[in-house]
Amino acid sequence: MPDERSNGIDRRTLLKLAGAAGVLAGCSSPPGPQKLIPYLVAPEEIVPGMPLFYRTVCRECSAGCGVTARTREGRVTKLEGNPDDPVGGGALCARGQAAVQGLYAPERFHGPARRAQGGRLESVTWDEAEAALATALAASRAKGSPPGVWLLTRPEPGSAGALQKEFIEKLAVPPGRRVVLEPFDLSALREAGKRLFGRAEVPAFDLEQARTIVSFGADFVETWLSPVELARQFASGRGKVGPERTRLVWIGPRLCLTGVSADTWLSVRAGGEAWAAVALLRFLCDPTQGIAGLAREANAIFGALEGFDLAEAERQSGLPRAAIASLGAELAQRRPSAVLGPGLLSSGADATELAVAIQLINYVLGNIGRTVLYGLDPLEDPPSPPSDLRAFLTAAAAGQVDVLLVHHADPCGTLPTALGAAPALARVPLVVSFSGVPDETTKRAHLVLPDDHPLESFGDITARRGVIALSQPAMTPLWETRSTSQVLIEVASKLPAPATPLPYDDFYSFVQSHLGKLFPGLSGDELAAAQRAAQQAGVHVGKVEAEPVVLRPDPGLLRLAAPGPPPQAGLALVVFPTALRDDGRGPSSPWLNEVPDVLTNVSWTAWAELAPATAKRLGVNDGDVVTVATSAGRVTLPACAFEGVREDVVAVPLGPEALALVTADLDAGSGAPAWQAARAQVDPTGRRTRLPRLSATPYEEGRTIVRTVSAAAPTVPALPATGKMYPAPSFPVHRWAMAIDMDRCTGCQACVVACYAENNVPVVGPEAMTRGRNMAWLRVEHFVRVEDDQPRVDLLPMLCQQCGNAPCETVCPVYATYTNPEGLNAQVYNRCVGTRYCSNNCPYKVRVFNWQEPEFPKPLNMQLNPDVTVRSKGVMEKCTFCVQRIRFGENAARDAHSPVNDGAIVPACAQTCPARAIVFGDADDPTSRVAALRRDGRGYNVLGEVNTLPAITYLAHVRDEGP
Amino acid sequence: MSSLASSREIQEKVLATQGRPGAVHALLIVAAAAAAAFGAWCWSLQIRYGLQVSGLNRPVGWAIYITNFVFWVGVAHSGTLISAVLFLLRAKFRTAVYRVAEVMTVFGVMTAGLFPIIHLGRPWFAYWLFPYPNERHLWVNFRSPLMWDVFAVSTYFIVSAIFLTVGIVPDAAALRDATKGWRQRFYGLFAFGWQGTDEEWRHYARAYLYFAAFATPLVFSVHSVVSWDFAVSILPGWHSTIFPPYFVAGAIFSGVALVVTLLVPLRRILHLESLITPWHLDMTSRVVLLTSLVVTYSYILEYVLAFRGPPSVERSTLAYRATGPFAPLFWTMVACNCVIPLLLFLKKVRARPAALLVICVLVNVGMWLERFVIIVTSLSHDRIPFDWAGIYRPTFVEVGITLGSLGWFFLWFLIFVRLLPVVSISEMKEASVHGVEDAA
């Protein structure tokens, strides 16, 4: 143990005040074998049955949303957004919700391991492992200067990154050999910023201000940049009817979720986005259009684009001139706007050109500084330029790398296979992986030194300039893992002379000293107080303003007008990430595998998406196994028809299959991989498979399930009044109700995963999914309709409607389900005998039956919420608006001798919704938000004509056909 | 009535059926027992691993098990109809066939009663469906049609079992007096000390009449209640007011068809051709024909009601039934229930037991399919199209349990025909005496 008072702070006090404390022994930095045993003398902070909350930060992607970890009896059971955090704003995405399954992943490494003879990994002690690494590093250093040591890391914009840099320096390794790998880094945006404004930055965005958002393949509600934050900003302009409602235009070859939320889809040819963007830029700058209020460089830009061939742009982008013109007219009129991109979906060989055009559009429209903000990129540990990665791969392939350290970067599992990371790694004599779970790189690693899970370790990251998120352990490490930063300190101390050890006792003291730098000018008690406040909030928010930019005189615009190769016939490959599967490793946890993709509702497998017309032309039906081949590789996948892809596209979700297909082509401007638009060949194999999917049809089949409104008809017509035989039900205590705004909902499915986490919903696996036995209490249904050749996807989150007149209740022979005095449709699991009559009679089909004994493979069972029963086989189960959370809130109110305040009780789904589309409250309280929303003109009940009197009011999506 | 047997002949013929089973009969018993055992094993798998071993899913929460339940309850209908209703109507052809029908009823209900338990997610708690006083003050939900089923079916079982037992009393006494050894003691048990005095006969006749009057409403109530399982729900395709009469007609249809199915081989195996004559079969098959027409009318009515008026979810469900993936089953059902029975208009067909057997077996196939199609297609096609999951396919466990239920039924039946008279001796004797009087 280090001397805790050496830093002037009592660490124990600090943690306690961080709303935490908990198992302090477990939070101490030198992790050792810690066993979870019942307390003989319980720590005073832990009250059995009461949750303890720890503020920390999500590391599932680089956005850095703050989270609150709920622990019970010393173990984390659920993650929720940290409301004090300006990035996540209290919400979490699906992957953030599933991070807790990463903590309890059964496949996690239990301790350090070394590749033995025969290729198996065998356990070693930490001392042995660190000594082996120190020896190898010393040997490499002895061979010559600079040593053949490389470090591949994910971005670590905080203490961990700073320590890595110091470590590299100690070894006399040039900084360029520390490659910060972010597979989907927006290098093109950085490059464009550099060329246009002299700022190699990824801008931040303020979409709340934007009246029209145009997205060139930037799927910002799912995966792009900081999806939780951007979805929240975007949704703040939704839920209105009329001109003040934010309009969204999606330009891409496939309708991702952002496209589903969009009011207009401009179906651009894959690879033709840059042409469309330049054509738009040209339209805006064209003096004959007479657009007022443009940046003064507009004329010069137009001059540079004089020779731009509009006919060629039409051919290359597949978008008619009229579509560009009407988009341009809208942008001219509705200001400020925001033009977003490129995203992975538009990152082809000319991604930089696209980025340049996009930022110029933003510039001439005056969006920069208002909705597009430069000067907020922390630049603390930005992803390395793509050339650094290529330099590494070249060196590795040439046998010049002696030791490769891989820290949470998986070059073999996240980069296109064609880049050759795997064969390059095979030539490295010592690959050291710090990954906590097996991945493609650990398969090739000689030494695995598993890092602690973020929920088990200290750290900090700078999410953006001025926003420092702090992470702290929420529980004792499960296994004999060790923080990578700690390992680096210990390895440095084991290095033979002339190396000197790093001057830190442990990583915790390094973090402390690093954080001290965040509060310049403070010392003593003031510094301690500031640090305490930051720990307690989980985040430190400094005051940082966006900076103005100046357009450089010669940004190299002429390149934009250069003619490209003629469009090729055949299919173009489009690879896309989804909210559930971010990088090439595919879904990382059982929940993310089980929750179906929202647009195809396929789970547990990747698929090849084709437009129905294309599928018909190729003679392919849903579930037919096809081969998809590009010049890079060939994979077999089940086919799946989807109206939201262009007919000249085959789309494959990111995963090993997509990585095998992406070619080695690069974006000429930035040097990053060109992910999109490789020529692809699709052939049926003649085999069929049953897809593990939720629904057999994506259409409404001539029925009206989902309703929409428009500016012309802003209210949903009321149902015709009919005579009622029975009095309307009344509820003596509360009438818990929910309103779901479908104009805000983006379909990200964070709510679905949150429900799995909160309610101990079991995962059934692909086989049961093919048999229609998904157990989710909440699912996002979708209905596709094609209007004027333009597919529209209507989403519908479906959960128990808590009917006032519930059809399920009357048919249950044993009273296992009944309406309680608070209007909840309660389910008594112990009483259920399993007739399934309630499910048959439920028009929403939101009751799920336990066809088998639920399985929670150890240690995933440690995640189970102790407030919720684990149901057994043969029992019907369902959503009850998180009745355990309702009871918790009611008890808290009773203890405080106060009524339950509106908003004090939030079900898990509403809590995590990034778009804030779900509002929960007491409908009988006329002042509650939900009561107001139930009276909204857009409100309707799904299947209201059945007279089930649901507690859920859906607020209709607004159809906005034009500005 | 063609050739009337004498009283002695009747007694000897029936007595001859009460012996050691022959090779064929014994083989049938073994086969039925094996099928029942296989079904029991399949059920044990289901209890152990849960209903995942079935093909059920969401939205298809009911399928073969409930089909079997309705089928066997339907089959059980003919017993009361033939013994009670036809008794009150003084239909003469009933005498030779009613015992078979009653036996079928009792064993049919015994088979049907298994399925509500088999289909439960937690069958070990099946007793919770009964309203019994308990320390937890739990009660059952009398609003649930499943609860009504519990009472309808158990009432029906009790009444038909009593009716069967009462009817056997004089026969058992006759056999008791004609046998020795354990059979004498066995028959004595069922004879309840019957002496055959005038006094006894007078009470007996009156009691029998009352039982018949008491049982008659059950013919209509039981299957009406079963149909409410569907009609009272709000599922399109189930929620229909014509279900009760439609189901009662269907039940009688399948029940009488099964009586014929059993009688034709039975009269050969047990050499009862002179007692169960072609005339009996002819008259019984006319009931089959009549109910077939009623059932056909119901089918047409169901479609006409759905297809008149504005488009509805019900119309879509019925269109799906006739054209969707289950259409082959639907049209097989129409052929078996509506078209093939029309052959019974021909006297020649009615006169040929083999032809009757084929038709009646097909009717039972058709009626089983009818229930299956109603249950599965409606569930597969509820209001929200997103819920239309994949096609329900039964698994070997469900097929095995269904075969097992057939084995269970026939096991009881095959044992019964060797232990108790399958044709009523007393009523046949009475009919022969009346017949002689009528002839004179």
What is the Cα–Cα distance from B142 to B135, expressed in whole angstroms?
20
Residue of B61, B122, B313 lying closest to A875 (CB–CB) = B122
In chain B the domains, ranked by start, together with CATH numbers, are: 7-18+56-393+421-439 (1.20.1630.10)
Question: B150 to chain A: which residues are within 8 Å by CB?
Answer: 813
Alpha helices (H) along A386-433: 386-397, 411-414, 421-426
- What's residue A341's pLDDT? 86
Nearest to A833 among B52, B121, B387 (CB): B121
Q: How far apart are alpha carbons A955 and A933 in whole angstroms?
A: 8
**Secondary structure of residue A344 in the 3-state scheme:** helix
What pLDDT is recorded for position B79?
A: 77
Instruction: Express as a percent the part of chain A with pLDDT over 90.
Output: 72
Task: List, in order, residues 6 or more apart from A669 with CB less than 8 Å away.
Answer: A188, A191, A192, A350, A351, A352, A353, A355, A356
pLDDT tens, B267-297?
Answer: 888 888 888 888 889 988 999 999 999 999 9
d(CA B402, CA B72): 11
- CB B118 within 8 Å of CB B177: no
For residues A923 and A442, what is the distance between their CA atoms, to the nearest angstrom? 53
Residue A543: strand, helix, or coil: coil
Cross-chain residue pair A810–B390, CB shorter than 8 Å: no
Contact at CB, A812 and B387, closer than 8 angstroms: no
When the pLDDT of each residue in chain A is averaged and rounded to a whole number, the result is 90
* Interface residue A600 vs chain B (CB under 8 A): no
Sole residue written with tokens 């006032």: A804
pLDDT at A427 over 80: yes
Which candidate, A251, A210, A207, places its Cα nearest to that of A228?
Answer: A207
B141:A815 CB<8 A: yes
B136 and chain A: CB distance < 8 Å anywhere?
no
pLDDT in tens, A376-420: 988 888 999 999 999 999 999 999 999 999 999 999 999 999 999
Interface check A706 vs B, CB under 8 A: no
Which residue, among A300, A281, A303, A207, has the nearest Cα to A247 in the 3D structure?
A: A207
In A788-807, the residues whose Cβ lies within 8 Å of chain B are 796, 798, 807
In chain A, residues 933-962 whose CB comes closer than 8 Å to chain B: 942-943, 946
A15-29, A248-262, A566-580, B83-97: the lowest-pLDDT one: A15-29
Query: Is residue B118 scored above 80 in pLDDT?
Result: yes
Tell me if A229 sits within 8 A of A89, measured CB to CB.
Answer: yes
Residue type, A620: V
User: Which residue, chain included where needed, has tokens 């093909």?
Assistant: B55
Q: Which two tokens stand for residue A488?
A: 């680096």
Kindly identify which residue of chain B lies nearest to residue A771, measuring between CA atoms.
B57
Determine contact: A705 vs chain B, CB below 8 A: yes
Query: What pLDDT does residue A426 have?
Result: 94
Contact between residue B275 and residue B13 where contact means Cβ atoms under 8 Å apart? yes
CB A833 within 8 A of CB B117: no
Query: Of all helices (H) and strands (E), which one includes residue B319?
Result: helix B313-323
Distance from CA of A809 to the nearest CA of B (A): 8
Q: Between vectors from CA A29 to CA A28 and to CA A33, what angle results, nearest 5°?
A: 80
d(CA B191, CA B193): 5
CB contact under 8 A, B385 and A701: yes
Nearby residues of B74 by Cβ (< 8 Å), 6 or more positions away = B223, B226, B247, B250, B251, B254, B255, B367, B371
Chain B positions touching A813 (Cβ under 8 A) are: 129, 140-141, 144, 146-147, 150
3-class SS at A447? strand
Best of A775, A808, A817, A836 to mutate (most B CBs within 10 Å, chain B): A836
- Tell whether B127 lies on the interface with A, counting CB pairs under 8 A: no
3-state secondary structure of B241: coil
* Interface touch B129/A853, C-beta < 8 Å: no
User: Do residues A458 and A485 make contact, with C-beta atoms less than 8 angstroms apart?
Assistant: no
- Taking CB atoms and an 8 Å limit, are A834 and B57 in contact across chains? no
In tens, the pLDDT along A215-232 reads 999 999 999 999 999 999
**The pLDDT of residue B90 is above 90:** no
Separation in Å, CA of B374 to nearest CA in chain A: 13
Distance to chain A for B182, nearest Cα, Å:
44
Find the largest Cα–Cα distance for chain B.
74
Q: How far apart are CA A447 and CA A121, in angstroms?
A: 8
Cross-chain residue pair B386–A695, CB shorter than 8 Å: yes
CA B274 to chain centre: 26
Nearest CA to A471 out of A65, A118, A171, A154 is that of A65
What pLDDT does residue A525 have? 84
Instruction: Read off the amino acid at residue A687.
Output: R
Chain A residue numbers touching B121 (CB-CB < 8 A)? 832-836, 849-850, 873-876
Res A803 pLDDT > 90: yes
Which CA distances in Å does A568 have to A272, A316, A564, A684, B239? Answer: 11, 10, 11, 22, 56
Query: A267, A645 in Cβ contact below 8 A?
Result: no
Mean pLDDT confidence for A552-577: 76
Q: pLDDT grade, residue A27 (50/70/90)?
A: very low
CB atoms within 10 A of CB B141: 19
A782, A843, A852 ranked by CB distance to B383: nearest: A843
**Left (φ > 0), alpha (ψ -120 to 50) or beta: where does A83 sit?**
alpha
pLDDT surpasses 60 at A14: no
Q: Mutate which of B137, B381, B387 to disrupt the A interface (most A C-beta within 10 Å)?
A: B387
Q: What percent of chain B has pLDDT over 70?
A: 97
B261: its two tokens = 């199915």
Report whether A259 contacts A252 (CB < 8 A): yes
> Does residue A25 surpass a pLDDT of 50?
no
pLDDT more than 70, % of chain A: 94
- CA–chain centroid gap for A263, Å, is 23
- Assess B125–A contact: CB distance below 8 Å, yes or no: yes
B221, B226, B230, B233 alpha-carbon torsion, rounded to 10° = 70
Which range among A27-41, A241-255, A589-603 shows the weakest confidence by mean pLDDT? A27-41
Give the full edge-to-edge strand order of the sheet including A212-216.
A264-267, A247-252, A212-216, A337-340
CA distance A955 to chain B (A): 18
Q: Is B324 on the interface with A (CB under 8 A)?
A: no
Residues of B in contact with A798 (CB under 8 A): 384, 386
The pLDDT of residue A12 is 54
CA–CA separation, A873 and B100 (whole Å): 41
A695 contacts in chain B (CB < 8 Å): 385-389
- B195, HSE (Cβ side, Cα atoms, 13 Å): 4
Distance CA B363, CA B304 (A): 23
* 3-class SS letters over B33-85: HHHHHHHHHHHHHHHHHCHHHCCCCCCCCCCHHHHHHHHHHHHCHHHHHHHHH
Average pLDDT over residues A245-272: 94
Least confident of A189-193, A720-724, A757-761, B155-159: A720-724
pLDDT at A555: 60
- Report the distance separating Cα B65 and Cα B312, nearest Å: 29
B59 touching A, CB under 8 A? yes
Q: How confident is the model at residue A533 (pLDDT cuts 50, 70, 90)?
A: confident
DSSP three-state, residue A194: helix
Smallest CA–CA distance from B49 into chain A, residue: A852
Residue B8: exposure state from Cβ atoms within 10 A (0-12, 13-18, ≥19): exposed
Average pLDDT rounded to a whole number, residues A111-127: 93
pLDDT at B58 over 80: yes
Judged by a CB distance cut-off of 8 A, whether residue A321 touches chain B is no
B376 touches chain A (CB under 8 A): no
Predicted pLDDT of residue A563: 61
- Could you say which of B61, B125, B379 has the minimum Cβ distance to residue A849? B61
- The model's pTM is 0.92
Residue A835 contacts B where some CB pair is shorter than 8 Å:
yes
Number of residues assigned to chain A: 963
pLDDT at A184 exceeding the cut of 70: yes
Contact indicator for B104, B263 with CB cutoff of 8 Å: no
Query: Does the pLDDT value for residue A755 go beyond 70?
Result: yes
Going from the C-alpha of B388 to that of each of A551, A825, B58, the distances in angstroms are 56, 24, 9
Q: Length of chain B, please? A: 440
Q: Which of A232-241, A316-325, A460-469, A873-882 bottoms out in mean pLDDT, i.e. has the lowest? A: A460-469
CA distance B148 to chain A (A): 9
pLDDT at A307: 80
Average pLDDT over residues B388-411: 93
Contact B385 A770 (CB under 8 A): no
Mean pLDDT of A763-784: 94
Q: Which domains does chain A have, with CATH numbers?
A: 4-109+457-486+502-541 (3.30.200.210), 204-373 (3.40.228.10), 568-688 (2.40.40.20), 735-959 (3.30.70.20)
- Are A771 and B62 an interchain contact pair (Cβ–Cβ within 8 Å)? no
Tell me A956's DSSP state: P
**Looking at the complex, does the CB of residue B245 fall below 8 Å from at least one CB of chain A?**
no
Angle at B65 (CA atoms; ends B59, B66), nearest 5 degrees? 75
Point out the least confidently predicted range of A136-145, B256-265, B428-437: B428-437
Residue B154 contacts A where some CB pair is shorter than 8 Å = no
Residue A49: predicted pLDDT? 83
CA distance A514 to A162: 9
What's the pLDDT at A37? 54
A-B CB pairs within 8 A amount to: 174
What is the chain B residue with the closest CA to A947? B234
Please say if the pLDDT value at position A521 is more than 90: no
Q: A260, A238, A219, A96: which is closest to A752 by C-alpha? A: A96
Cα A224 to Cα A222: distance, rounded to the nearest angstrom: 6
pLDDT in tens, B299-344: 999 999 889 878 889 999 999 999 999 999 999 999 999 999 999 9
State whether B390 and A694 contact (CB < 8 Å): no
Name the token pair of A347: 């990152």
Which band of pLDDT confidence, cut at 50, 70 and 90, is reported for residue B4? low
Does residue A644 sit in helix, strand or coil? Answer: coil
Of B57, B121, B385, the CB nearest to A773: B57
Find chain B residues with C-beta within 8 A of A803's C-beta.
none
CA distance A918 to chain B (A): 21
State both tokens at B301: 């009515």
